[in-house]
Amino acid sequence: MPSITVSAALFGALVLLFYRLIYLPFLSTPLNRIPRPKLYAISQWRLAYEDYKGTRTRTINKLHTKYGTAVRIGPNEVAFNSLSALRTIYGAGSGFERTSFYDMFDAYGKKNLFTFYSAKEHGDRKKLVAHAYSKGVILRGSVATMIEEKVEKFIKLIERDPKCASEIFSSLHYFSLDAITEFLYGGFGRTNCLEGDETDRALLGDIIDVARRKLSWFAVHFPGFTKWLYTRTNTVERIVRPFYPMKKPTTYTGIRAHALRAWQDFYAAPEEVKGESSVQTSIIGRLWKYHYSQKKDGGLGDLDIASECADHLLAGIDTTSDSLMFLIWALSRSENRIYQDKLREEVQAIPDSSLNDEGIPTVEACDKLPYLDAIIKETLRLYAPLPASEPRSLPTVSNIDGYTIPPKTVVGMSPFSLHRNGAVFEDPLKFNPERWFGNEDELTEMKKWFWAFSSGGRMCIGLHLAMAEMTTLVAAIYRKYSTTVKAGYEDSAPGVTSRFEVFHDDTFAQVSEHECWIDFQAR
């Protein structure tokens, strides 16, 4: 009898293994038609291991090189890298929704533009603020004036404190934080990092901490456990503290606390202050019109508005500052001097009539500079601010590139892979802004593959604001200065944290995460 029991148990175990490792991933699903490495198809933890190492995006790109434009990267996940898939998944009206991956970006327990799953919820919220982000509003009026003022303060920082300005990872974060806080909150949550406010500068501390990558990994792969871990108090907290992926304060803690205080200050302000034109044009002022106290038929709650503003705040810091850092660093490398010289020639030709009273080029004038536009495009191509995949799913069966995709399968694409297609971008790892002055057919094809700001209904709402900040600051800097990489840092590339990974220039072996030193030479 015992031998029969053992044999039955062994047989049952073998059947279970066959069911889990062979039948489910390979025989029972149409996903088995999609090229894949076998271990990835069997278990989600194979890709999770790449997440942990910080090599997910580069690994998927290598898999595309080996297996083609469609690769199964998990039992229920597929990566694509084609224009047809791009249109199917991310095109307007596609029906594909965001996944639970984005839950870690909720603020105060409330969803927002970035984290809403459905297109309808996202679209309804977007309507409330879309006009504030329109190109016409950004290029002219109070927003343009605000951007020019922040640019002027950055130029003065170079003059007043060149050591602080020269570490451009930090100083450009000061610039982007000061700009986005005033755009969102007006005077209620405006920061003054560029003018040396140490309390405001300290808000960036938990963003700079490299342990945020480990926390992101736990938040995605063990969301329930991570939430439990960080909500313990008193004795239990002291016991579990050594097991924190990231010590408190965790990523965005300071930023979110600042954002919540800004909302509380706004809410407590007198009605006549809330009605001032400068307040009404801020994002918080625009959302206030939809607060439940202002509408008879429902409306936004306190934390809905606080979460929405906090989301825009977080989205407007790293993306702009990291892109600016890579742009200035790339132009400062000796092999790229020719591009810097051409840019300086273009920005120095801006007529006096297109300068403000402080000699800063106007936002509107900077929007019309073709060589600067090409440099920004090339920076965003090679160093996209959000280079990793953007996961989506559909509750029904779909067909992508001829493959049947079962309901709730996670599918995604990444700017990193799209922008490194050697058939579209010649010598794709080379920084070459002049590729954007190629023949019309080449330009048309490159623009189709350019995906730095996503596409469709989920396209980055802050596109025009980010471009205005970048064009104006870069034009102002290179009107007055030339730049070089500081001596001793020529053989190292700056690196930035994005989710689980560090992104940098792949042609460099040495990486300095969250550090970039540049010399500004007055001309």
Q: 64 and 37 in contact (C-beta within 8 Å)?
A: no
Q: 414 and 396 in contact (C-beta within 8 Å)?
A: no
Alpha helix (H) residue ranges in 195-317: 198-201, 205-208, 212-221, 223-230, 234-240, 253-268, 271-274, 277-280, 283-288, 302-315
- pLDDT of the residue at 164: 97
Q: What angle do CA 236, 240, 244 make, to 5 degrees?
A: 140
- pLDDT of the residue at 6: 61
Residue 2, C-beta contacts closer than 8 angstroms, at least 6 positions apart: none
- pLDDT of the residue at 208: 87
Ordered mean pLDDT values, 10 residues apiece, the chain (523 residues): 64 61 65 95 96 96 97 98 98 93 92 93 95 96 96 98 97 98 95 97 91 94 95 95 94 93 95 88 94 88 96 94 98 98 98 96 98 98 95 97 97 98 97 96 97 93 97 98 97 95 96 97 91
Strand order across the beta sheet in which 501-503 lies: 501-503, 492-498, 510-513
Task: Kindly report the average pLDDT of the chain as a whole number.
Answer: 94
Report the distance separating Cα 124 and Cα 126, nearest Å.
Answer: 6
The 3-state DSSP class for residue 429 equals coil
Q: What angle do CA 277, 281, 282 make, to 5 degrees?
A: 120
**Rg over CA atoms, the chain:** 25
Q: For residue 14, what are its two tokens?
A: 């073998």
- pLDDT of the residue at 242: 94
Q: For residue 381, what are its two tokens?
A: 């191509």
Query: Any binding-site annotation on 309?
Result: no
One CATH from 3.80.30.20, 3.90.1150.10, 1.10.630.10, 1.10.10.10 for 124-209+251-522:
1.10.630.10
User: Which value, to the nearest 10 degrees, does the dihedral of the CA atoms of residues 430, 432, 435, 436 take?
Assistant: 130
The 3-state DSSP class for residue 519 equals strand
Q: At what angle do helices 370-382 and 463-480 cross, to 10 degrees?
A: 120
Backbone angles phi, psi at 484, to 5 degrees: -140, 155
Q: 498 and 105 in contact (C-beta within 8 Å)?
A: no
Q: 72 and 78 in contact (C-beta within 8 Å)?
A: yes
- pLDDT of the residue at 219: 93
Cis peptide leading into 249, omega within 30 of 0? yes
- pLDDT of the residue at 27: 57
- pLDDT of the residue at 3: 63
- pLDDT of the residue at 523: 81
H/E run at residue 174? helix 168-185
- pLDDT of the residue at 206: 86
Task: Look at phi and psi of residue 268 and say left if phi exceeds 0, alpha if psi is from -120 to 50, else beta.
Answer: alpha
Report the distance separating Cα 502 and Cα 91, nearest Å.
Answer: 29
Q: 482 and 523 in contact (C-beta within 8 Å)?
A: yes
- pLDDT of the residue at 279: 86
- pLDDT of the residue at 18: 54
The 3-state DSSP class for residue 404 equals strand
